[in-house]
């Protein structure tokens, strides 16, 4: 069935990966997208079903309203998803991630369009359940001086607002990515806290720096290959009028539950297989660093974060299979190819 999909923030990690999957799998779907930069969608520009507009969503209200009216499913993906920025610039996280997205959600309400909104695994915060369930798990965050939680609480409130609009008739789906990793995750830059953990580790090795384990690296994450993550989103769009409507989905791989220390060791082991980088990897040490020194005093960490994925399995027919090692190998091949 023909569908028109609007992706705001199409040039980001999830947007850029989603465009590739849709163009490959769905010959009848057309994508409209806006972002400041087109680096991560450069390969699709010129494709007859991908319409990219360069622009800032803050300044392009008319364009956005016009495209919400024209499209069937709306993805407001604009946000900064990097814990170092939650701590260093919490107001930016609120202004962009909350205020701008609230406007877009309200336009979806006005035009009666299905909004697919990225919640986050961060909403569960420091909850110590063995696994997090969309319907029953509590959200546990710290005091206001722990600014790390401004991202989670902004996303949490937007989720609650969308749910409340849903009770008045809005069609929506909330999805919660659990540490998606992929080729387009972050750019490799030489700055501590400049990117999320896997890209940060690769960047440290490439730039001859040690790998730093925040708080000893015993905290665990369930890493999820982004190709499988966006496959869940394609399934959500397919079922927007049925099983996926007014639902919340954790999208993560509970089998890939590794400590950050294990991730560091695996990444180094795999980099050693690239002859051009083996020497740097051999020289790289894995060292511990205090979280306040790395991020600042506004940081708190999450010890364990395992998704229950019964909803995604039963309602979307989705089940992730790619192991962490396979993802790491694929991502290294992409970054270390020359």
- Closest contact distance (angstroms) between CB of 53 and ligand UGA is 25
122 binds ligand UGA (CB under 6 A): yes
Euclidean distance between CA atoms 85 and 100, whole angstroms: 17
284 binds ligand UGA (CB under 6 A): no
184 binds ligand UGA (CB under 6 A): no
Among 17, 120, 250, 327, binds ligand UGA (CB under 6 A): 120
Sketch the per residue contact string, 237 through 256, with ligand UGA: x for CB under 6 A, - otherwise. --------------------
Euclidean distance between CA atoms 253 and 221, whole angstroms: 10
* Three-state secondary-structure class, residue 258: strand
Alpha-carbon distances of 123 from 37, 196, 218, rounded to whole Å: 28, 17, 21
Share of the chain residues as helix, strand and coil, in percent rounded to the nearest 5: 45, 20, 40
Q: Please list the active-site residues.
A: 122, 305
Alpha-carbon distances of 34 from 11, 37, 75, 145, rounded to whole Å: 7, 9, 11, 34
Sketch the per residue contact string, 195 through 234, with ligand UGA: x for CB under 6 A, - otherwise. -xx--x-----------xxx--x-x-x-------------
Among 301, 315, 323, 329, binds ligand UGA (CB under 6 A): 301
| Start-to-end Cα distance in the chain | 41
* Three-state secondary-structure class, residue 175: strand
- Secondary structure letter of residue 254 according to DSSP: T
179 binds ligand UGA (CB under 6 A): yes
| Residue number with CB closer to ligand UGA (83 or 171) | 83
- Closest contact distance (angstroms) between CB of 212 and ligand UGA is 5
Residues lying near ligand UGA in the complex (CB under 6 A) are found at 81, 83, 120-122, 151, 177-180, 196-197, 200, 212-214, 217, 219, 221, 260, 301-302
């Amino acid at each position: 069935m023909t569908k028109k999909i609007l992706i705001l923030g199409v040039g980001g990690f999830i947007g850029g990966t989603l465009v590739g999957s849709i163009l490959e799998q769905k010959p009848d779907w057309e994508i409209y997208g806006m972002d400041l930069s087109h680096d991560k969608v450069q390969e699709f520009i010129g494709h007859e079903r991908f319409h990219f507009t360069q622009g800032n969503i803050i300044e392009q209200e008319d364009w956005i309203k016009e495209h919400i009216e024209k499209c069937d499913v709306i993805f407001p993906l604009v946000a900064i998803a990097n814990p170092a920025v939650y701590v260093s610039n919490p107001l930016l996280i609120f202004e962009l991630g909350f205020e701008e997205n609230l406007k877009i959600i309200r336009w979806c309400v006005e035009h009666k369009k299905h909004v697919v909104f990225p919640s986050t695994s961060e909403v569960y915060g420091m909850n110590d359940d063995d696994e997090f369930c969309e319907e029953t798990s509590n959200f546990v965050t710290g005091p206001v001086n722990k600014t790390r939680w401004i991202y989670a609480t902004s996303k949490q409130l937007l989720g609650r607002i969308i749910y409340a609009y849903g009770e008045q008739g809005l069609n929506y789906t909330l999805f919660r990515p659990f540490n998606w990793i992929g080729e387009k995750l972050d750019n490799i830059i030489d700055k501590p806290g400049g990117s999320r953990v896997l890209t940060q580790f690769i960047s440290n090795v490439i730039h001859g720096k040690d790998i730093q384990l925040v708080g000893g690296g015993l905290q665990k994450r369930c890493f999820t290959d982004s190709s499988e993550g966006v496959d869940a989103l394609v399934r959500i769009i397919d079922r927007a009028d049925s099983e996926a409507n007014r639902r919340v989905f954790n999208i993560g791989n509970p089998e890939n539950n590794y400590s950050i220390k294990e991730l560091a060791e695996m990444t180094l082991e795999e980099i050693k297989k690239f002859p051009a980088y083996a020497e740097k990897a051999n020289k790289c040490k894995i060292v511990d660093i205090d979280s306040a020194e790395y991020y600042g005093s506004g940081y708190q960490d999450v010890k364990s974060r395992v998704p229950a994925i019964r909803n995604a399995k039963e309602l979307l027919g989705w089940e992730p299979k790619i192991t962490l090692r396979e993802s790491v190998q694929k991502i290294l091949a992409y970054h270390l190819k020359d």
